Amino acid sequence: MKTARLVESLPTSYIREILQAATAADCLSLAGGLPDPKYFPLDATAEALQLVADSPSVHGHLFQYASTRGYQPLIDHLQTQLSVGAGHELLMTNGSQQGIDLAVRTYLNQGDEVALEVPAYLGALQVFALAGVRVRPIPQLPNGPDLEALRKVFETGRCKMFYTVPDFHNPTGCCWSLEVRTEVARLCRKHGVLLLEDAPYRDIRFHGENLPLVSDFCSDVAIVLSSFSKTAMPGLRLGAVVAGKKLLAPMLRVKQAVDLHTNTLGQFLLAEFLVKGNYVAHIANLCRNYHAKYEALHAALELHTAEFGFHRPVQGGMFIWFVLHELDATLVAQRCLERGLAVVPGGVFFPAGEKHSINALRLNFSYLAISQLEEAAARLAAVLRELSAC
Ligand code: PMP
């Protein structure tokens, strides 16, 4: 059976292929974007499941059809936790990935233009490809998008949406400065461009000052996507969309058409953890541990690989973007796999057919233990030495 035209244009996830190859027993993987399962709130989850098992009749409503917006006790809690402003509302989704999809389905037609920073989050590129929308790439600079390039794209009047990850970007780890945030907000308002602010890594900050959301400066034209995949557990598949009532209402209608509502038992488990567990302490612990892992990989790269490339220090998130001086990133990634190390070559983070001069590797530091991160850096250095000797 022939698939639909837009499905044919869907980029295959090269990362999934690398992750498959990385399942070999002796392979160390810096390739995925996996949180460390050591910090999953399993005790709180087990207690919540026990509550359901102990009194199934009281909890029967968790297994009934429910409202599209989400499980009300969770929503009530998140209104405060996410500081949802007056006139704004919340919609629970299957991860922030569904938030991207719902925003695109609700606000873009086939052929419409969406701007995004490149390199870009692969999952968003896939949503845009499937929706048949046109991508306008904006180069990313150390403090955020190239504002001049963004202004030019906005001035064409054809761009309807700007998809962004301002806090600890995937794949680069870039965090926008305050100046960039206010200027992007100003430009979005001036040109009537919808800002889709994807913030799954926002709470994972190791140091530096917490900056406002870009949307705080343009909330009338902004949609914010939160996720509990990095801060709780990705298998729960839970995220939240926050937007003004007028922007959110059509997204609710679309969500209803797509899947009626998000799994209620999962939302109950998250609510129990957030309400009864000590979320603040949980995040502090997670950040402390990811910080230590980041410092370990950062130091090991400085020690072993400095002559072959460089990376900018990051203040949070889960990724280091290692830019190679000369060697070809795709070749390096291939040879790494043969030597028991999985890394992602930077080219996969560009829209299909988009020319780019970036020669970099995305390195994840959240998943492996510190000793494994050090070993991974040593394996990478060995591959870089081997290739540069050729
Ligand atoms: N946005 C970005 C920038 C991501 O990196 C990811 C996950 N890797 C997602 C969205 C999707 O996250 P979720 O598990 O919440 O759907």
The CATH code that applies to domain 42-277 is 3.40.640.10
Residue recorded with tokens 């130091």? 299
CA-proximal residue: ligand 1, atom 13 (nearest)? 95
pLDDT in tens, 224-277: 999 999 999 999 999 999 999 999 999 999 999 999 999 999 999 999 999 998
pLDDT tier at 13, thresholds 50, 70, 90 = low
Ligand 1 atom nearest residue 234's Cα: 14
Pocket probe for ligand 1: among 93, 96, 104, the residue whose CB has the most ligand atoms within 8 Å is: 96
Decide: 133 and 110 in contact? Cβ < 8 Å.
Answer: yes
Q: Is the CB of 166 under 6 A from ligand 1?
A: no
CA 76 to chain CA centroid, Å, is 24
pLDDT (average), residues 87-102: 97
Say how far apart CA 67 and CA 73 lie, in whole Å: 12
Compute the residue count for the chain: 390
Ligand 1 atom nearest residue 94's Cα: 16
Q: What is the Å distance from ligand 1's center to 129 Cα?
A: 17
CA 341 to chain CA centroid, Å, is 23
pLDDT computed for residue 358 by the predictor: 82
pLDDT computed for residue 192 by the predictor: 98
Instruction: Count the neighbouring beta carbons within 10 Å of the beta carbon of residue 334.
Output: 14
pLDDT tier at 19, thresholds 50, 70, 90 = confident
**CB-neighbour burial class of residue 263 (10 A; exposed 0-12, middle 13-18, buried 19+):** middle
Domain boundaries, the chain: 5-30+281-389, 42-277
Average pLDDT of every residue of the chain: 95
CA-proximal residue: ligand 1, atom 11 (nearest)? 97
Positive/negative CA dihedral, 261, 97, 83, 280: positive
Three-state secondary structure call for residue 88:
strand
Stated as kind and residue range, the H or E segment containing 271 is: helix 264-276
pLDDT (average), residues 283-312: 97
pLDDT in tens, 318-342: 999 999 999 999 999 999 999 999 9
Q: Is the CB of 229 under 6 A from ligand 1?
A: yes
How many Cα atoms are found within 13 Å in the side-chain-facing hemisphere of 179?
A: 4
Q: Check whether 217 has a pLDDT greater than 80.
A: yes
Q: Is the CB of 170 under 6 A from ligand 1?
A: yes
What residues does 361 pair with on adjacent strands? 322, 345
Q: Which of 15-24, 25-34, 86-95 has the lowest mean pLDDT?
A: 15-24
pLDDT (average), residues 111-119: 97
Ligand 1 atom nearest residue 239's Cα: 15
Say which residue, 300 or 24, is predicted with more confidence.
300
Q: What is the Å distance from ligand 1's center to 31 Cα?
A: 15
SS3 letters across 90-154: EEEECHHHHHHHHHHHHHCCCCCEEEEEECCCHHHHHHHHHHCCEEEEEEEECCEECHHHHHHHH
pLDDT (average), residues 211-223: 97
Pocket probe for ligand 1: among 15, 121, 165, 230, the residue whose CB has the most ligand atoms within 8 Å is: 121
Positive/negative CA dihedral, 234, 108, 202, 15: positive
Q: Is the CB of 234 under 6 A from ligand 1?
A: yes
**Phi/psi at 164 (5° precision):** -140, 155
Spatial CA neighbour of 121 closest among 175, 17, 198, 214: 198
Q: What is the Å distance from ligand 1's center to 165 Cα?
A: 10
Fold of 5-30+281-389: Aspartate Aminotransferase, domain 1 (3.90.1150)
pLDDT computed for residue 133 by the predictor: 97
Q: What is the Å distance from ligand 1's center to 96 Cα?
A: 6
Rounded to the nearest 10°, the torsion over CA 98, 101, 106, 110 is -170
Positive/negative CA dihedral, 309, 312, 318, 321: negative
CB-based contacts of 129: which residues, under 8 Å, 6+ apart?
6, 9, 10, 11, 352
pTM of the model: 0.96
Say which residue, 84 or 247, is predicted with more confidence.
247
Q: Check whether 91 has a pLDDT greater than 90.
A: yes
Distances in Å between the Cα of 130 and the Cα atoms of 43, 104, 151, 240 are: 39, 10, 26, 22
Phi-psi region of 267 (alpha: psi -120 to 50; beta: other; left: phi over 0): alpha
pLDDT tier at 136, thresholds 50, 70, 90 = very high
